[in-house]
Amino acid sequence: MKQRVLLPLGGLAAAGLLSSALVTPAHASGDVAAKPLASQTLAWEIAAFWYGEDKANLIGATPYDVETKVVAKHVSTGGPSADTKPGIVPAIGDEKKSTARSKNVNLPKTTGKVFFIGADREPHWCTATSVQSNYRNLVATAGHCVYDTESNSATLDKWVFIPGYYQAKTPWGIYVGKQAYTHYDYDVYEDGDRDYAFVTVYNGVLPDNSGAEVSESEYRKYPRTRALRKPEVRVYETRTEALANKGKGTIEEVVDTGHVVAHGTPGSSDWLGVTRGEYLRLTGGAEEQIAGKVERTDTKLAADDPAVKDRTLPYASSDGKKYYWAKEIKPAEGETPAEYEYYVSEFCATYDLDYKVTRYFVRTFTDVGRLGDNVGGQGLAYNQKIGKPVHVFGYPSGSHPDGDYAYTGKTLKWSYGKTFAASAKEIKGEELLGVKSSFTGEGSIGSSWLLNYNNGRRLGYLNGVTIGLADTDKNNRIDTSVSPYFDGELYGVYKAAANLWSGSIVPKY
């Protein structure tokens, strides 16, 4: 994998205005490629994956680094230009009061990180943002933060969005991706001019404290994955202790073969007398462990010897505890009275009876509602004239080419500048926008470009997503970010994604 640095870039500046009219551009339905990310049940497991093991997968994730220098199969022609009239989709504010606080004060609550498993089967992340939609459940990011360009066949695995992410904190929950929408040309040709994606997400979830204890029958209903369910097994020496710690679990009587002794009772009612045959079965035939040997002229007693089988001790129960009592049995054929008495005295062994308690715990979540209700959603602007200033919000990471470690990727940052026309053949991009920005590293991929950003409302109009970085003056310092031009075809992809309902992933049993 290589850093996504694009060279060369070219462009010019222009000016333009937003249009308040909603315009539905002409576009073919075949322009939209929709792919499912997770069913409701799978989404529940995905949330558990990222929350599990003390959020180790979140903490260990690294910025997504993908190969960009590939042989071009198809590129769009011409420079960035509007294909219909300019249009906008209004933003939605945070209309639901929340006590959650983000470290990113005065920065948009809509921005966060998307986490997923890359082609290398390791956890990675990009930047993304919440966008207005009919069901308030939509996320926008770069196409290669959703579509697996390494395998060229599928979406990235275990995809989630976490708005306001900061050092493994999830102030408004985790939102698991339900379905991804990309442009057909990116899905098939990896066309950089269409390197954008919109993802519908399920309602957010936050974990309950330490999970919940359920009965064995309810436990069996949960998907069989360690991230979601885990039994707890403990062994107690007395039934009283076992009952005190049973909870909703089950109790099973087990023999502690490590404490089997020959003849005699240590004094606890949890020690049971057994016959020689039962003793041999419990100890796996370790006859030499028995204290004493049978004095017989023919052979030693074996586990299947009729004399053993006929001398099983009957079972009796009293006060919920097990007891074994000696049984009057005549001597076996050919057995002398002395041999019989020796058998009864030496081979009525005892063993320690323990109580295994199995309790069943499952990972449970609280549904915190829709993404847009919790953090709001940016508006959308398309077919805008080039040259307007935009705020860029993202999680830049890593160093400049000269080695200067500029950003950690841990906190949300912003930059500001005017857009200009750009191109980058390395990613098959001929209809791109550029903006001056010092954002470094793959973590800034997916950063939102917002027109008319209102610092009070923390809202504006999404008009670009970062798909690559460039050092345009060749001084080994990143100075430019690039994005696809948002035109009518992008609006068509957005419209398809904005009308998909998602709902909750919390199961109801």
- 436, 472 contact by CB (below 8 A): no
Give me the phi and psi of 281, to 5 degrees please: -65, -45
**In the predicted model, what is the mean pLDDT of residues 13-40?**
59
Nearest partner of 63 among 451, 439, 474, 493, judged by Cα: 439
pLDDT at 362: 82
Longest dimension (CA), the chain: 115
- Sole residue written with tokens 């990180």: 113
Write down the domain spans for the chain: 29-67+80-95+108-209+364-498, 212-361
Q: What band does 65 get if pLDDT is binned at 50, 70 and 90?
A: confident
pLDDT at 189: 85
pLDDT tens-digit series, residues 138-150: 999 999 999 887 7
Which whole number is the average pLDDT over 130-145? 96
Contact 142/467 with Cβ under 8 angstroms?
Answer: yes
Strands (E), 132-184: 138-141, 147-148, 154-155, 157-163, 175-183
- Residues sharing a CB contact under 8 Å with residue 346, sequence separation 6 or more, in sequence order: 262, 263, 290, 291, 292, 294
Pairing label, strands 315-318, 321-324: antiparallel
Q: How far apart are CA 180 and CA 137, in angstroms?
A: 12
Residue (of 469, 395, 479, 398) closest to 437 by Cα position:
479
Options 2.40.10.10, 3.90.930.12, 3.40.50.10260, 3.30.200.20; CATH of 29-67+80-95+108-209+364-498: 2.40.10.10
Residue 486 has pLDDT above 60, yes or no: yes
Distance CA 44, CA 47 (A): 5
Instruction: Write out the DSSP string of 226-260.
Output: TTTEEEEEEEESSHHHHHHT-TTSEEEEEEEEEEE
Does pLDDT of 41 surpass 80? yes
* Spatial CB neighbours of 56, under 8 Å, sequence gap ≥ 6: none
pLDDT for 154: 74
The stretch 453-477 carries a mean pLDDT of 91
180: Cβ–Cβ under 8 A, 6 or more apart, which residues? 34, 35, 36, 37, 146, 147, 155, 159, 197, 198, 199
Pairing of strands 459-465, 379-382: parallel
Q: How many CB atoms lie within 10 A of CB 21?
A: 9
CA gyration radius, the chain: 34
Determine the Cα–Cα distance for residues 441 and 65; give it in Å rounded to an integer: 9
Return the pLDDT at 53. 74
Burial of 491 (0-12, 13-18, 19+ CB in 10 A): buried
